[in-house]
Amino acid sequence: MKNYKITLIKGDGIGPEIIDEAVKVLDAISTDEDFELKYDEALMGGCAYDITGDPLPQETIDKSLASDAVLFGAIGGQKWDSLEREKRPESGLLRFRKELEVFANLRPAVVYDELVNASSLKPEIIQGVDIMVVRELIGGIYFGEPKGRDENKGWNTMVYTRDEIVRIAHEAFKIAMSRDKRVCSIDKANVLDVSQLWRDVVTEVATEYPEVTLTHMYVDNAAMQLILNPKQFDVMLTGNIFGDILSDEASMLSGSIGLLPSASIGSKIGVYEPIHGSAPDIAGQGIANPIATIASASMMLRYALGEERAADRIDAAIKQALSEGYRTKDLSAFDAKEICSTSEMGSIIANYAAKCTL
C-alpha cells in the first residue's frame, strides 16, 4: 500500500468548509484504492497572521515541501485588507507560490452538459467546451523589477527570460499531447518586445512536439474569441497577467466560480486549489459549493500522485451528482431537483465516488 503525505491548508472564509468536503471524498475512495493519504494541517492567510503575525509562517513552507502535495482552500477577507501589503493574506500566497516554484498554473474550464443553462452564453456556444488554460505563474509583470510608486507615478516591469518561457511552453505541449494536441499561445507581440520573445521561444519549443498544432493569438482577440467561439480552444498557453484575466473569463463559461479547480505545478511539489477566493460573504453559512475543491483533489490525485483511476472516480461522481439534479445554492436556478448544503453535496459525491467502479 502506498502512503502519501498531503498538507492541508484550509485558510480563511469558506476555506475550512470546502476542504473538509474534499477530504471526505478522498477518504471515501482511498479505502478501496491501493493508497493511504496522511494529512497534516498548516496555516496560511489571515488565520495565520492572527496567530503568528505572519500570513505565511516558515513552518507552512517546511511542511509543504516535505509532503507529496498541498490541498489548499482559500485565503483573505476584509478583516485583513487594511494591513500593510507584506502582512496581507494575498502576499503570503504569492510568496508561497514563489517558495514552491510552482511556475505553471493549470486551469481547466469545462462546461458540464448538465449545466449548459447555467452559463450566460447560449447553450449551443458552450456545450462541449473543454479548455485547459496553462498560465505562467511566477514571472512576468507581477514579479518584474523595477517596480514602485511615488506620488505622481506607478510602474511595473513585464520581464520574461528564455528559460522561463521554455519551461512553461513544455508544460503546455505535454498537456496538449494528452488532449486534442492543439496549443494556442497568447501574447501581445504586435506591441510588446517581451511578447515577441515569448512568441519566438514558444515556436522553437513547438518543434519538439511535431504532433501538436501551435497557433498564436493576440490577447485582446483571445478575450473576444473566448466569448464568440470558445470551442475552438484546446490548450491556451499564457503569461502571468494575460492568464490571470483570460482564465477568469474562461471559468465563467461554466456558470459558477464554485465549480472550477486548478493545479499549480513546478519543479518541487504542486498546490491544488479552487480558482475562487475565500467568499467571506457566504462563509459559515453552509452554502458554498465544494465542487471546485473536490475537483482540485481529483487533479491532485492525477497530477501529483499519478492515481488516475481514483481521479476518474471523483470526476465521475461529480458528474453524477450534477446529472441527478443536486445543486448548491449558487446553481439552484439551473435544473435543480434538490438544493443541498456544502456538507450534503460533499457526502453525495463521496457516496457516488465510493460506489463508482471504473
**Taking CB under 6 A as the rule, does residue 239 contact ligand NAD?**
no
Exactly one of 239, 330, 345, 353 binds ligand NAD (CB under 6 A); that residue is: 330
Identify whether 62 is a catalytic site residue: no
Residue 252: closest CA among 127, 153, 110: 110
Closest distance between ligand NAD and the C-beta of residue 204, in Å?
Answer: 33
Place of cell 464568440: 228
CA 202 to chain centre: 23
CB of 55 to ligand NAD, least distance (A): 11
Active site residue 142: yes
Where do we find the cell 503570503?
Answer: 92
Decide: 322 and 283 in contact? Cβ < 8 Å: no
Scanning the chain, the segments in alpha helix (DSSP H) are 15-30, 46-52, 58-65, 89-100, 123-126, 162-177, 193-206, 219-228, 240-251, 291-299, 308-323, 342-355
Residue in 163, 220, 281, 355 annotated catalytic: 220
What's the grid cell of residue 338? 434538490
Among the listed residues 255, 266, 277, 346, the single contact to ligand NAD using CB under 6 A: 277
Asked if 259 and 152 touch (Cβ cutoff 8 Å), the reply is: no
* Set of cell numbers at residue 58: 516558515
Residue 349 in the binding site for ligand NAD (CB under 6 A)? no
- List the catalytic residue out of 54, 180, 248, 312: 248
Give SS3 for 38. strand
Number of residues this chain uses to bind ligand NAD (CB under 6 A)? 21
Residue of 27, 54, 142, 218 marked catalytic = 142
> Which C-beta is closer to ligand NAD: that of 99 or that of 180?
99
Cβ neighbours of residue 284 under 8 Å, at least 6 residues apart?
17
Are 148 and 195 a contacting pair, CB within 8 Å?
Answer: no
Helices (H), 71-161: 89-100, 123-126
341 SS3 class: coil
Q: Are the C-beta atoms of residues 258 and 288 closer than 8 Å to each other?
A: yes
Report in angstroms how near the CB of residue 346 gets to ligand NAD at its nearest.
Answer: 12
CB of 247 to ligand NAD, least distance (A): 12
- Residue 261 as a binder of ligand NAD (CB under 6 A): the answer is no
Q: Is 220 marked active-site?
A: yes
CB 276, min distance to ligand NAD, A: 3
Output the nine-digit C-alpha cell for 181.
Answer: 494536441
Contacts to ligand NAD from residues 281-300, by CB under 6 A: 281-282, 288-289, 292
The stretch among 56-64, 126-134, 245-253, 280-288 that binds ligand NAD (CB under 6 A) is: 280-288
Residues between 54 and 93 with contacts to ligand NAD, criterion CB under 6 A: 74-77, 90, 93
68 is catalytic: no
* Stretch near ligand NAD under the rule CB under 6 A, chosen from 48-56, 126-134, 238-246, 276-284: 276-284
Per CB under 6 A, residues contacting ligand NAD are 14, 74-77, 90, 93, 257-258, 273, 276-282, 288-289, 292, 330
Q: Which residues are catalytic?
A: 142, 188, 220, 244, 248
